[in-house]
A = this chain, B = another copy of it.
């Protein structure tokens, strides 16, 4: 499930993930996927934009997919959460 060229957005600050994306490109990967869900979706867009505008201007957004995942809460009930997958390409 986990890929070498994917960055999973969680609770760290935006710049930690920007650094992760830049590092993957600098290792020679031609593509990086930024994966996020729920409230962190806004953060995924920030990460893509900051990477392109401030660090790697040659990188383009090649694809954006949105979707819905079913999750089970701590209480055992099922809930739906939106997801985003932003693909950056060099």
Measured CB to CB, the residues of A under 8 A from B are 38-42, 45-46, 48-49, 53, 61, 64, 66-68, 80, 82-84, 86
Could you tell me the distance in whole angstroms from the C-beta of A11 to the nearest C-beta in chain B?
14
B82 touches A49 (CB 8 A): yes
Cβ-neighbour of A67 out of B39, B42, B49, B66 (below 8 A): B49
In the complex, the chain B residue whose C-beta lies closest to that of A66 is B45
In the bound complex, residues from chain B placing their C-beta under 8 Å from that of A42 are 38-42, 82
Instruction: Across the A-B interface, give the 4 residue pairs with the lowest CB-CB distance, nearest first.
Output: A41-B42, A64-B64, A45-B82, A49-B68
Which among B39, B40, B66 is the interface contact of A48 at CB below 8 angstroms? Answer: B66
Query: Which B residue sits closest to A41, measured CB to CB?
Result: B42
Determine which of B68, B83, B86 lies in contact with A66 in the assembled complex, contact meaning CB atoms within 8 Å.
B86
